[in-house]
Structure 1
Amino acid sequence: MSPVSKAAVLLLCCVPLTLHGQTTAKQAVHPATCSLSPADAALARNALESYNKGDLEQAKPQLIKLAQTYPCQTELQAAAGMALADSGDNAGALPFLEHAHTQNRNDAAIAFNLGVAVMKSGNTKRAEEIFSNLVKRAPAKPDYHLALAEVQMQREEFAAAAASFEKANAALRAVNAPVSLDMRIDWATALLKNGQPAKAKDLLADPEPLKSAPAQEILAESEEKAGNYTEAVKHFQLAAQLDPSESMIFGFGNEMLQHWSFGSAIDIFKYGVSKYPSSELLQMGLGIAYFGNHSYDLAAQPFQSVLQRSPQNATAAELLGRSCEVASSASVAGCDTLQAFADAHPENAMASLYAASSILHQATDTRDTARAESLLQHSLKADPRLADAWYELGVLQHSRNQWDESAASLEHAVELRPAFPEAHYRLSRAYARLGKGDKAQAEIALQQKYAQQTKDENNRRMQEVITFLTAKN
């Protein structure tokens, strides 16, 4: 759920504009007259009537012209501002609304509409000040509390937002007005983000949320925060069934990834990709699910698909590289895409490393070792402290019986990453070939010492890619 209150947004855009009050306050923008000519008074009535009927195209140019001609007319200033705001031009609306508010600070409707425009323009601090003042002036108005809650959600002031929603609820109950499900969902979101999952769950405990995908998503997140993972999965599944949108399917699949239920995640993301084949997020999810399930050959294909659509996507390139690095097949479809990415991004050390690694995983009689070595050199030029690149270079030199060179490269690798069992093992073999038996034995001991840490490191890397996917959402 977004931290922006959807219920409040719907409410604000539907509040009827109450424009009233005229003033003769002095104004320096135009020379002036504060009295409308009979002809302009008729035009103003027609323009306001058109606006109230929703004929924005007819009303807006007339209201703007009249407001510019009669700067002392508060009603016209406010109406022109609202017409511009309704058309999406908040920047154009603000000067008119500001001027109207300056002329009549006691007009709550003008202040409210100014607050909405200010909030939409991105100045949430000032919007919060405007709505806070309105709440103090009229604490029984639920609209004001909801507007304040929305801006507090935007500012990630979740405790304050939850309190504002509670006051809006009380104001609505006081006049026997219904509390919409949208408002309860937003209120529950504030509570959830404020670390109160039990209260969020209680808000959505009646039967109505059973038919709402957003409500089910909040219930799922509430159960998850409370540690009730089985219940969380049920709610995520129901949310995806009620609304099989890209985001909902992703949420369900991502929940499976969080608990390393990779088989279930594969099924969910496969369905999502079949429904939304151009979704890079779902493709990434599918690739990560395959990767977590140790189906590395299959993992490469979704990552390749993303990289083909977005050639600048460094994360997709890295995940493709990780898949190709550990794939069982000598030639996995999609791994050749890495080389093109590495050529286009020589500054990306990991891309060059993975491209080289994919070549070195090919059959001995077909792999282009010169190309692989060139890519490794590019990788080390971009990042001389990349232990994996030194390791791969050492292994390549090992295959050529270049024992001195291999030992030197592998020494760099273990110096940069002492807990590197594969590098210690390869280095022990290089030392043995060079007649350095004592050093070879010492490296074998280090290889055995760090073997368990490698398993832990692989688990950490798996968690990294899952965390990446969650962050993207």
Structure 2
Amino acid sequence: MSISCLTARKFGYIGTTLALRVIVGVASLGSFVQGQSQTAADLATLQGTVRDSSGHLVDAASVSLQTKGTEILSKLTDSAGQYRFSGLHEGIYALHGRRAGDGEASVDGIVLERQRVKNVDLILGSSESRTKDPSMGAPEFYDQPSFTVAGVTDPSNLGGHGSDTTVRTKESLAKAAASLGGEVANGSQPKSSASQSEKILREAAEREPENFDANYRLAKLLVDEAKAREALPYLERASRLNPGSYDSTYEKAVAYEALGEYENARLNAHALLARQERAEVHHLLGNVEERAGNPLPAVREYQRAAELNPSEAYLFDWGAELLIHRAPEPAIEVFGKANRLFPQSARMLVGLGAAEYGRGFYGQAAQHLCAASDLNPDDPAPYRFMGRMQNVESPQAEAVSERLERFAHLQPENAEANYYYALDLRRWRKGPDDPSTSRVEGLLQRAVRLEPKFSEAYLQLGILYAEQRNFPQAVAAYRRAIEANPRLEEAHYRLAQVYRQTGEEAQAHAELTLYEQITKENTGEIERERREIKQFVYTLRDRTPESPRK
């Protein structure tokens, strides 16, 4: 039996009101014989854990459950912070958890289905509940940052220190790290379960078109399922029925952001902030402004969200915004301090490593990526970053080698695992005649067998064969690389060199011409992309404003 965990923001929950973060899981109980009456096997179960704002499991927390027209069911969490409600009829439920001193969390619109177990993990004490209870004080956070983003400018000084290859690697790693942003989702709701939930909610909205809850809950599910256009009519109706609803206004802003209607998203978000300042609204505005091409207001919204609610997701997105806009020193500060708050977050360590690499701290970058891979050795992401950093020398080279070897051992059917381990082994060779050369060749061949369009692996095979003066195989490998990726400029260049060595001048000239043409086009494309990504100008405490150095 598998449980797929989802975040409340993205999946399956309707009307999250106080929960700082809710993780949802749905698990099938298997097939049961369905009769006219509901037996115990036909009924649903709701279970989960309750944690405080620091992530610690909470015992003796009061958890209550209610559906429309029924009495409230109440339980206390056990010594492991767990609760369980069984024997429930299918329907739409509201869950509430609280414990004195730790705050509370509520989730509305939990759809329970027959023969299903749903997991809802509550985290008490969100930023919203703190703002409502002044006695709880400000959110626990770290000292004020030692930097201020003072403005944006067009990219400059991109050459900086190191080769163009290193600069390109820094940029690609920053983008890759930023792509890890957003709330952590440990899975997705099974398609059949999501479809059944949507069916139930559509029927409810059709039965009661003037019912706010029916319209809102369906709209929320549609937004979570990336059906924002379908959701808008229901959200508009819900807003008409209850103009003061925070939830429907927030979901409208989310829907407009998803559709690229940024002005409408802003209007709805600012209407919410006029009532009460909430972290999730600032974070949403950060997403809106970044997608609209306004990085300066975006980073300020991400920062404010993290100040109000220093969650792992909000801190990561703040750091990622700094990193993608070439502010590695501020990004290092945010990721570093967030890592101390969330030491088990692998992506925080990956972000920190990418920021350190961007600043030229290659040893520290490798150290933190190794630590990220140790948190979850089966996660390929940290290994990918380590593999792409092999173009620079690092005092952590042996530690990186150990992790890349582990990656290949744990995932022998992963083409990237074989490829990066091959590159690492080749780096340690004493020459083409080193005994490890055959091992390198075997790993690269395995990589292209697993992924026939792996152009970089074919390129490395060609380089290996050319070193051995096995020119026919080198030519074949380079041609396969070009076939997989015609714009891989290095493959054209190296193929031209082989043709020269074999006296085939016409072919060499043709490949060099292609190399020069593709290099010019690729360089132009890279420059255009660089110009599109504005660069932050930032002030470090007791220092003058500066643009990040490369």
* TM-score, normalisation: structure 1: 0.64
The equivalent position to 1:352 in structure 2, one of 402, 414, 418, is: 418
- Counterpart amino acid of residue 423 in structure 2: S
- Counterpart amino acid of residue 383 in structure 2: A
Structure 1: which 5+ runs fail to align? Answer: 12-27, 31-53, 61-76, 98-112, 174-178, 463-473
Change in Cα spacing, 1:395 to 1:180, as seen in structure 2 (3 Å) is same
- Counterpart amino acid of residue 128 in structure 1: L
1:432-443 to 2 correspondences below 5 Å: 432-443=500-511
- Counterpart amino acid of residue 448 in structure 1: E
**Within 1, Cα distance between the matches of 2:525 and 2:360?**
15
The equivalent position to 2:370 in structure 1, one of 299, 304, 325, is: 304
Q: Which secondary structure does the structure 2 equivalent of 1:390 belong to? A: helix
For residue 239 of structure 1, report the CA deviation from its aligned partner.
0.9
> Residue in 2 aligned with 1:284?
350
**Within 2, Cα distance between the matches of 1:367 and 1:337?**
21
1:158 aligns to 2:228 (yes or no): yes
- Counterpart amino acid of residue 229 in structure 1: P
**Within 1, Cα distance between the matches of 2:214 and 2:92?**
21
> Residue in 2 aligned with 1:23?
none
**Within 2, Cα distance between the matches of 1:321 and 1:381?**
19
The equivalent position to 1:246 in structure 2, one of 295, 299, 312, is: 312
- Counterpart amino acid of residue 337 in structure 2: Y
**Within 2, Cα distance between the matches of 1:322 and 1:221?**
28
Change in Cα spacing, 1:85 to 1:317, as seen in structure 2 (3 Å) is same
For residue 164 of structure 1, report the CA deviation from its aligned partner.
4.2
Q: Which has the larger radius of gyration?
A: 1
Change in Cα spacing, 1:157 to 1:434, as seen in structure 2 (3 Å) is closer
Structure 2: which 5+ runs fail to align? Answer: 1-7, 19-35, 39-61, 77-82, 94-107, 119-192, 531-550
**Within 1, Cα distance between the matches of 2:299 and 2:197?**
35
* The structure with more helix, counted as a fraction of residues: 1
Change in Cα spacing, 1:154 to 1:448, as seen in structure 2 (3 Å) is closer
For residue 83 of structure 1, report the CA deviation from its aligned partner.
4.5
**Within 1, Cα distance between the matches of 2:75 and 2:201?**
18
> Residue in 1 aligned with 2:487?
419
1:198 aligns to 2:263 (yes or no): yes
* The structure with more strand, counted as a fraction of residues: 2
**Within 2, Cα distance between the matches of 1:55 and 1:296?**
48
> Residue in 1 aligned with 2:289?
223
> Residue in 2 aligned with 1:94?
90
Q: Which has the higher contact order (CA 8 A, sep 6+)?
A: 2
Change in Cα spacing, 1:79 to 1:316, as seen in structure 2 (3 Å) is same
For residue 248 of structure 1, report the CA deviation from its aligned partner.
0.4
The equivalent position to 2:322 in structure 1, one of 243, 256, 271, is: 256
**Within 1, Cα distance between the matches of 2:371 and 2:234?**
46
Q: Deviation per CA, 1:303-326: give whole Å up to 9, x if none.
A: 3333323232234333322222x2
Change in Cα spacing, 1:389 to 1:118, as seen in structure 2 (3 Å) is closer
Contact preservation (8 Å) 1:419, 1:453: no
Contact preservation (8 Å) 1:152, 1:161: yes
**Within 1, Cα distance between the matches of 2:90 and 2:422?**
57
- Counterpart amino acid of residue 311 in structure 1: P
For residue 241 of structure 1, report the CA deviation from its aligned partner.
1.5
Contact preservation (8 Å) 1:265, 1:289: yes
Q: Deviation per CA, 1:50-84: give whole Å up to 9, x if none.
A: xxxx9989xx9xxxxxxxxxxxxxxxx9758x749
Contact preservation (8 Å) 2:15, 2:109: no
1:40-119 to 2 correspondences below 5 Å: 79=70, 83=73, 89=85, 92-94=88-90, 117=112
For residue 210 of structure 1, report the CA deviation from its aligned partner.
6.7
Contact preservation (8 Å) 1:152, 1:158: yes
Change in Cα spacing, 1:271 to 1:438, as seen in structure 2 (3 Å) is same
- Counterpart amino acid of residue 88 in structure 2: G
- Counterpart amino acid of residue 129 in structure 1: R
Q: Percent identity?
A: 25
Change in Cα spacing, 1:287 to 1:270, as seen in structure 2 (3 Å) is same
> Residue in 2 aligned with 1:339?
405
**Within 2, Cα distance between the matches of 1:414 and 1:159?**
41
**Within 2, Cα distance between the matches of 1:288 and 1:459?**
21
For residue 235 of structure 1, report the CA deviation from its aligned partner.
1.0
* TM-score, normalisation: structure 2: 0.56
Contact preservation (8 Å) 1:299, 1:323: no
> Residue in 2 aligned with 1:214?
280
1:392 aligns to 2:399 (yes or no): no
- Counterpart amino acid of residue 502 in structure 2: L
Q: Which secondary structure does the structure 2 equivalent of 1:8 belong to? A: coil
Aligned positions, number: 381
The equivalent position to 1:189 in structure 2, one of 234, 251, 254, is: 254
